Amino acid sequence: PEIVLYGEIPSDTNKALHKIHRADVLVAIGSSLLVSPANSFIYDALYDGTPVVIINREETPFDRYATVLIHDDFKNIFKEGK
């Protein structure tokens, strides 16, 4: 998977968009989705009919578009296996 961390700008936005248009699902983890260009990727996925999963502690402006919405800390969702 391709990952963009907070404060990073995708080195090649066109490459990112190409991958989004080919994706089976778009998962946004631990993001308020308030920062561009990352938040615009949600619209690209939705335009293609790609399911969107949002995992974040607080509400985001895109919650209403999520196919799957989880309001929790991602650390609780992805616990380390023992």
What confidence score (pLDDT) does residue 4 get?
65
Residue predicted with more confidence, 67 or 30: 67
Q: Kindly report the average pLDDT of the chain as a whole number.
A: 86
Residue 37 preceded by cis peptide, ω within 30: yes
Place of tokens 């936005």: 13
Which range has highest mean pLDDT (2-11, 28-37, 73-82)?
28-37
pLDDT band, residue 15 (cuts 50/70/90):
confident
Residue predicted with more confidence, 37 or 72: 72
Is the model's pLDDT at 16 over the cut of 70? yes
